[in-house]
């Protein structure tokens, strides 16, 4: 179930990265975040992506792991985008 966990990590990471963008904060978090929270969200997002990469590489070998990491990252970003679209639709 490492695959599922990696997908969760990727989605969480992109969720944080999305949160770190000011224009999306109102839709995602309900309010604009403080500068520090924004910074932590961005750092956290990248950190989780790095962790996911290391996990994938160590479990599946670096070649296959890197490919899976890229693919799951795309899916994670897509899921985040879908969530944002849903919430911004509701808000407006």
Q: How far apart are CA 76 and CA 82, in angstroms?
A: 10
Query: Of 50 and 78, which has the nearer Cβ to other proteins?
Result: 78
Query: Of 36 and 89, which has the nearer Cβ to other proteins?
Result: 89
The pair phi, psi for residue 91, each rounded to 5°, is -60, -45
- Binding residues for other proteins, per CB under 8 A? 3, 14, 18, 21, 23-24, 63-64, 67-68, 70-72, 74-75, 77-78, 80-82, 84-85, 88-89
The least CB distance from residue 78 to other proteins, in Å, is 6
């Amino acid at each position: 179930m490492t695959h599922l966990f990696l997908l969760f990590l990727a989605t969480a990471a992109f969720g944080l990265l999305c949160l770190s963008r000011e224009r999306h904060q109102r839709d995602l978090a309900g309010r604009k975040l403080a500068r520090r929270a924004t910074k932590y969200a961005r750092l956290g997002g990248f950190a989780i992506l790095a962790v996911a990469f290391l996990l994938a590489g160590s479990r599946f070998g670096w070649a296959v792991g890197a490919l899976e990491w890229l693919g799951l990252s795309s899916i994670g970003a897509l899921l985040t985008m879908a969530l944002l679209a849903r919430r911004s639709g509701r808000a407006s």
